[in-house]
Structure 1
Amino acid sequence: MNTVILNDTLAMIDKLKTVCANYGLANDSSEYKIITESFLYKYLNDRMLYEFTKLPEFDGCEGTMAIEERYRGLDDTARDMLQLELGTTAIVRPEWMVSSLHNRQNVDDFARQFDEALLGIAQDNIEVYSVKAGTEAITLFQGVSRFIVEENKRNGFCAALVNALSDFSFADAFSQGYDFFSQVFEYLIKDYNKDSGSYGEYFTPHAIANIMARILAPAGDRNVTVYDPAAGSGTLVLALAHQIGERDCTTYTQDRSQKANEFMRLNLILNGLVGSLANVVHDDTLVSPRHLGADGKSLKRFDYIVSNPPFKCDFSDTRDTLASEKYAQRFWAGVPNVPAKKPEKMAIYLMFIQHILYSLKPGGKAAIVVPTGFLTAKSKIELAIRTRMIEKGMLRGVISMPSNIFANTGTNVSILFLDSSKRYDHALLVDASKLGTKEKVGKNQRTVLSGEEIERIVTVFNNAEEQDDFSVLADYKAIAEKRYSFSAGQYFEVKIEYVDLTPAEFQTEVAERMAKLRDLWSEGDCLQQEIEERMKAVRLA
């Protein structure tokens, strides 16, 4: 990876954040929209210009300025042809290019022109780049000047954004690939994805995403579907799509968080999965799953499902609806109750596990992040779900991760790996809780896995390898006997160390230990006598 290009990209993001800070919007709820819209606008602008270099219409053009001038000189018919040639690459009209706006930044109504450019680009590309929100659509951009309350400062604000964008080019970044853009994306949103525990806004560390992807599809796959019903910013589906091969899979996601869906769309665009944008849905997965089968009524089933669902969340408004007969087939194990005093503690992840099992194709595979407490919980719903996994022969294994693997939650987590492509009679249970090193992330501590530790986890799991106090192959019968516990520690062999002794050595060892015991008894008798004398003295006093 080219670290110079990476550092330049991160520096551009920092400049955008500085502009927001200078105009009083640092840590404002609107900041993430301004940063992500500006960043994406620049990315799409530069991507279009980069794709132009591959077309015969731009032969002989040396450098970006020459390409832009050639583009400005084309008539409407030629520009329409370009759109056909570029396919899913977004089209930015000549007057809306970054360079064009940069040249007009001193006009009296520049803020209006900047917003019109963003809104116009969104409208021109709505068929490919919008996100479904129920039956409506969320377009690519909504404009940014509205977040500056004082109208007389809007022109300067928008000009400052354009200047930050003009100093940078993505041209050299497009060949860098997934590893590059995953780092850029994580840096871009790291300050805006802090709502720990909120629906759809967990940030899944790349180490976990990497482990899940490499275990689910170690050799890739062909022409498959990948789904996450609580996708958040898309870390898991993107990692798996990269492992499978971006051209060999189509991703489907849903999340009821608008912010998460905006991040998801950005992530797909950066990583070359524009064709999957139509499958990004902003809606409540449990109540209104929007990915349907060919009949338009039944739920679509998927080859791969990955998810880090919200563990606990207030679903009191829809709990009774989900418990009704209409949803009984999907939520066969039951619906958890809403805690009376703390509705936000409802164990909503149990609903997502059931939804995932229902949405998995015959022969499909899944990986689900769950609270480690789920592995041994004795409550009705948890026990029913674990029992079903064993009875269906689909539990491939479990990995229990170190504490604080997430910087924004102290909940211990484990990963369930399910595989219905064959019937298993045993599962590999891995206890990786002792791995990793602690590092400070803001005010919190996070456990970070080294590359070697990640390799160990993946290799041991994919090879179904047993290692002392780390991994064990648990027979399904043994699992059933232990109340369907998925905790590795309950299946490790208890080892008792012993030393070979001759009869004479044994007698000597016994004599020495008995002597020590007699000394301890004698010392105890002296202490007891001393205590009794002191108590007697206290009574007499």
Structure 2
Amino acid sequence: MTELEFITKTKALIDDLKSVCANYGLGNDASEFNIITQVFLYKYLNDKFIYEAKKIDKDLAQADDFQKAYEAMPEEKRKFLHGRIGNKAAKLTPEQLITYLFNNSNSDNFAETYFDGTLLNISTENVSLYSVKSTTGVKDKMFDNISQFIRDSSQRDAFCRALINKLVNVSFERMFSEKYDFFATIFEYLIKDYNSDSGGKYAEYYTPHAVAHIMAAILVNETDISNATVYDPSAGSGTLLMNIAHAIGEKNCTIYSEDISQKSANMLRLNLILNSLSHSIPNIIKGNTILQPSYIKEKFQYIVSNPPFKLDFSDYREDLAKDSFKERFFAGIPNVPNTKKESMAIYLLFIQHIMYSLAPNGKAAVVVPTGFITAQSGIERKIREALVERGWLRGVVSMPSNIFASTGTNVSILFIDKKANSDKVVLVDASKLGETVKDGKNQRTKLTDAEERRIIDAMNKKQAIEDFSVVVKKAQIVEKNYSFSAGQYFGLKIEYVDITAKEFRSKMECFEDRLNALFKEGEKLDKEIIKQLKGVIYE
């Protein structure tokens, strides 16, 4: 199965699930997103369990009917199978498989007893493997009572039956051996209908794949990394975390994340499962990173973040101004504006939090509004000055406009490295790259693979390329008032062309002839103006 075939197959399943929701009055309903993601997760867990079970037990692998063979398996042998599977998949009983639900879909009270009951049992029995916890330590459940989203109780059995009918004839087993990284495409497809300003604003949780890939490729430019810790304090769906984990190697790193959104925590869980990172699910925290960080004592080797730029945090702004926060927020805390509290620059707190959370050999990549890199005063200037004076600035890439389909804000990527070379800071101006494409109602800039590679090479190889990148020293940055904009370091270019003495005389004669002609034309115009003035009379 090729990647394209698998993506097509998965999109078709998502469309089928959307169709079921629409047929039962839930099309574009707030619950539709939850239903589709949870049913998709159940399908994935089902197929992953079957895949792992077949690898271990040859009788199951060779059986014409997996369901019957699994039901016939002695209890002791089944326990042994679960032990062999370990943390590679959810441990499902025969009664929890999709085929069992399908075979019993005409039973009385199917929705509550069979469908919802099965999903809730899976959630409870696998809580240690797949549950997300909050800052208070409470673990959430994987699944809701999905049938309860249908208000008319007489339709619940039929609704759940329709969902099972869409799942039973589709198999993702082959995908697990193909090892394709399909999730970014699937995720973007899944959320495209939920990027509205009302309800779940999922655009804020999705970072374009090009940005994520560039950040990971620049951060991870060495080999043989092991036992790495990777952190995102505003993780969203985890696109940045997935890209850096792939660059390091899923088995060579442990993911840590925080985000205040329940939706993003659930989506990140799904992302981790789909990307062979289930071992990091216990490290997903749903909470307020700025006010109550769960990992305040930990220091991380790699940090990636696309934090919210503007957000109203006026309710706890005064708490952050206390002495206990001053070490972390060394450059200060944005004030509460008289109007538009939602414009408070919370990203400045995230940058300071990231600097505080880096290990002695730590590296970070942070998406920032491009205005941050040139602001002449305030918290922005203090942070930039600290990065330069501490010798932590590795470089900056200024991205093209509209690289994010959901916002017109120009963005740059700030690269921090505690072991950076202060005499070789790389500043890249990629603002002119990419092509504009239509993305729904919005215009979006897309980078080609070659353009991505050009940015990555300029940073990693410390290349100075005319009108694109510069390599500067600390002293030069200080001289430019700590500006991180590549354009301010591009030199003024004067082009010189070698010509002969004869060519020079010829050019000068042409200039003289042209000037004499212009002078004569000017004299004629002067005489005409005087003539016209003499003809003006008073009435």
Q: Please indicate, yes or no, whether the TM-score normalized by the shorter chain is above 0.5.
A: yes
- The residue number in structure 1 matching 2:217 is 214
Moved more, 356-365 or 96-105: 96-105
Aligned pair in 2 of structure 1 residues 290, 198: CA closer, same or farther (>3 Å)?
farther
Name the aligned partner's letter for residue 193 of structure 2.
D
Tell whether 2:45 aligns with 1:26.
no
Alignment partner, residue 60 of structure 1:
59
Instruction: Give distance in 1, aligned partners of 2:50 and 2:378.
Output: 58
Q: Map of 1:158-307 to 2, 5 A cutoff?
A: 158-193=160-195, 201-220=204-223, 221-292=225-296, 299-307=297-305
Counterpart contact for 2:134–2:287, Cα < 8 Å: yes
Matched, 1:434 2:432: yes
Question: AA paired with 2:101?
Answer: L
Q: How does 1:32-111 map to 2 (within 5 A)?
A: 32-55=33-56, 58-62=57-61, 66-88=65-87, 89-111=89-111
Superposed, which structure 2 residues align to 1:496-507 within 5 Å?
A: 496-503=494-501, 505-507=503-505
Change (3 A) 1:124 1:535: farther
| Deviation for aligned residue 1:13 | 1.4
Matching residue's letter, 1:122 = S
Amino acid aligned to 2:22: A
Which range moved further: 195-204 or 452-461?
Answer: 195-204
Across the two proteins, how many residue pairs are aligned to each other?
533
Check whether the contact 2:269–2:281 (CA below 8 A) recurs between aligned residues.
Answer: yes
Correspondence for 1:425 among 423, 426, 445: 423
Shift of 1:187: 2.5
Contact persistence 2:3–2:180 (CA under 8 A): no
Q: Does 1:470 align with 2:468?
A: yes
TM-score (normalised: structure 2) = 0.93
Aligned amino acid, residue 71 of structure 1? Y
1:327 aligns with 2:346: no
Compute the displacement of 1:71 (Å). 2.1
Whether contact under 8 Å (1:198, 1:313) holds in the other structure is: no
Contact 2:334 2:379 (8 Å CA) reproduced: yes
1:54 shift after superposition = 1.9
Pick closer, same or farther for the CA change 1:518–1:230 going to 2, 3 Å: farther
**1:20-49 Cα shifts (integer Å, max 9, x gaps):** 121221221111100000000010011111
For 1:489-500, list aligned pairs within 5 A.
489-500=487-498
Letter in 2 for 1:238: M
User: What letter matches 1:242 in structure 2?
Assistant: H
Corresponding residue for 1:142?
Answer: 144
Is residue 153 of structure 1 aligned with residue 151 of structure 2? no
The answer to which of 495-504 and 113-122 deviates more is 495-504
Q: Counterpart in 1 of 2:12? A: 11
* Per-residue Cα deviation, 1:459-495 (whole angstroms, up to 9, x for no partner): 2221111111111101111110111000001111221
Contact 2:361 2:419 in 1 (8 A): yes
Compute the displacement of 1:303 (Å).
Answer: 0.3
Aligned partner of 2:120 in structure 1 is 119
Query: Structure 2 CA distance, aligned partners of 1:38 and 1:432?
Result: 41
Seen in structure 2, the aligned counterparts of structure 1 residues 154 and 63 have a Cα distance that, compared at 3 Å, is farther
CA–CA distance in 1 between the matches of 2:488 and 2:50?
59
Counterparts of residues 444-459 of structure 1 (less than 5 Å): 444-459=442-457
Encode CA deviations 1:28-78: one digit per residue, 9 max, x unaligned: 1111100000000010011111110122xx323355653322322234444
Question: 2:147·2:156 contact (CA, 8 Å) conserved in 1?
Answer: yes
1:491-519 deviations in Å (ceiling 9; x for gaps): 11221112234455434433433443454
Q: Deviations over 1:185-205 (max 9, x none)?
A: 333333335569969933111
User: CA distance change for structure 1 residues 199 and 166 in 2, over 3 Å: closer, same or farther?
Assistant: closer
The answer (yes or no) to whether the contact 1:201–1:260 under 8 Å persists in 2 is: no
Structure 2: runs of 5+ lacking an equivalent: none
Percent identical: 51
- State the Cα deviation string for residues 352-376 of structure 1 (Å, max 9, x = none): 0000000000111111111111110
After TM superposition, the score normalised by the length of structure 1 is 0.93
Gaps of 5+ in 1: 293-298
SS in 1 for 2:328: coil
CA distance in 1, matches of 2:49, 2:247: 26
- For 1:286 and 1:539, the matched residues in 2 are separated by 78
- Over the aligned positions, Cα root-mean-square deviation in angstroms equals 2.2
Q: Could you say what secondary structure the match of 2:414 adopts?
A: strand
Q: 1:121 to 1:61 in 2, by over 3 A?
A: closer
CA shift, 1:263, in A, is 0.8
Following superposition, the deviation at residue 340 of structure 1 comes to 2.0
Note closer, same or farther for the CA distance 1:103–1:325 as it changes in structure 2 (3 Å cut): same
With over 3 angstroms needed to count, the CA separation of the structure-2 counterparts of 1:63 and 1:202, relative to structure 1, is: same
Matched-pair contact (CA < 8 Å) for 1:200–1:256: no
Paired residue for 2:405, among 404, 407, 427? 407
Decide whether aligned partners of structure 1 residues 322 and 502 sit closer, same or farther in structure 2, where only a CA change above 3 A counts.
same
Q: Partner of 2:312 in structure 1?
A: 314
What letter is aligned with 1:127?
S
CA contact (8 A) 2:226 2:253 kept: yes
Greater helix fraction, Structure 1 or Structure 2: 2
